Amino acid sequence: MLRNRVLLPLVGVLVVAAIWQVTLVAYRLPVIVLPPPLAVVETLGELLVTASFWRDVGVSLYEFTAGYLLGGLSGIVVGMLIGESRNFRLTAAPVIESFRFVVPFAWIPLTILWFGTSYTGKILLVAYAVFFVMVVSTARSIVQVEPTLSRVGTMLGMGRLALALNVHLHAAAPAIASAARAAAAIGWIAVVAAEYIGASAGLGVMITNAASSLATATVIAGMVVIGIVGALVSVSIKWLSRAYFDYR
């Protein structure tokens, strides 16, 4: 168990690092193109003690969190309406379907025209990205709730609203929570992409600046940080959903 879970992955990481190092030496690549693995680790260590790095992480996380909550909550509300009411679904479907195919990234130039490089544009972009994922998956999970549960609720004298909130939402919560994890990954990337194109602070700005001054080690260190933060967000949502919705 220990061998398979710890030792072999470590071998994998070492092999990749070795291939990386050998390519460097064999092709005499300059540091600008590909810095050695150790240099990246060193740069990462240096970044971790600077204040401006933590400020960038903070800005990106703030934009993400605000947008995620906004888009996620409104997505769940609209998704529930779609799942509960057939007429609402039929009315909203064409509108939502046509917006869904305009990927969030295509909105970046427009958000810059409208909101400049402020936080608002990024928050709305994340909200947009998260909203559609949550609408579709919430509607789907509400519709897939066991019909017996609805019948039991009706038999107990529940009205439509009580049924929706106390029965359907509860039964669909685990599925909605796992969709929330997928949505978080999409939202986090939307923040980074938006910051590439028009922002004054954030992780995206940090790595584009590093790239244009050819500090490749910083670029790769920044990518590692983006990956780690994304993974941490995903893990904490999983942990929250375990803590609250583990009744399935």
Partner 1 sequence: MRRAILTTASTADTSRTVAPGARGLSPRALAWILGGAGMLGTIVLWSLLSHALAGGGGVISRLPGPLLVARNLAKYVTHDFARDLASSLEVFAAGWLGGVVFATFIGLLLGRVQWLGNIFLPVVEAIRPVSSIAWVPLSIVWFGFGFTSKAFLVGLAVFLVVIVYAIDGCSRIPADLARTATMLGMNGWQRFRSLVLPGTLVEVLTGARVSLMSGWGTVIVAELIAANSGLGAHLIAVQQSYDVAAVVATMICFGLSGFAMNAIFTRVENRLLPWRQVERSVISDE
The reply on whether position 161 binds partner 1 by CB under 8 A is: no
Give, as ranges, the residues between 134 and 153 that touch partner 1 (CB under 8 A): 135-136, 139-140, 143-145, 147, 150-151
State the nearest-atom distance from the C-beta of 92 to partner 1, in Å: 6
Q: Which is nearer to partner 1, 23 or 244 (CB)?
A: 23
The reply on whether position 9 binds partner 1 by CB under 8 A is: yes
The reply on whether position 108 binds partner 1 by CB under 8 A is: yes
For 198-203, the CB contacts below 8 A with 24+ separation are: 198/108, 198/111, 198/112, 198/116, 198/117, 198/121, 199/117, 199/122, 200/117, 201/55, 201/56, 201/59, 202/56, 202/59, 202/60, 202/63, 202/122, 203/56, 203/57, 203/60, 203/229
Give, as ranges, the residues between 36 and 95 that touch partner 1 (CB under 8 A): 82-87, 89-95
State the nearest-atom distance from the C-beta of 13 to partner 1, in Å: 6
The reply on whether position 238 binds partner 1 by CB under 8 A is: no
Residues touching partner 1, count (CB under 8 A)? 79
Residue by residue, what is the 3-state secondary structure of 161-206?
A: HHHHHHHHHHHHHHHHHHHHHHHHHHHHHHHHHHHHHCCCCCHHHH
d(CA 237, CA 245): 11
d(CA 161, CA 191): 36
The reply on whether position 189 binds partner 1 by CB under 8 A is: yes
Q: Which is nearer to partner 1, 38 or 244 (CB)?
A: 38
| Residue 132 exposed, middle or buried by CB count within 10 Å (0-12, 13-18, 19+) | buried
Q: Using CB under 8 A, pick the residue from 196, 201, 238, 241 that binds partner 1.
A: 196
Q: Using CB under 8 A, pick the residue from 24, 39, 197, 201 that binds partner 1.
A: 197
The reply on whether position 33 binds partner 1 by CB under 8 A is: yes
The reply on whether position 113 binds partner 1 by CB under 8 A is: yes
Q: Which is nearer to partner 1, 37 or 230 (CB)?
A: 230
State the nearest-atom distance from the C-beta of 240 to partner 1, in Å: 18
The reply on whether position 103 binds partner 1 by CB under 8 A is: yes
The reply on whether position 130 binds partner 1 by CB under 8 A is: no
The reply on whether position 112 binds partner 1 by CB under 8 A is: yes
Q: Using CB under 8 A, pick the residue from 27, 54, 114, 244 that binds partner 1.
A: 114
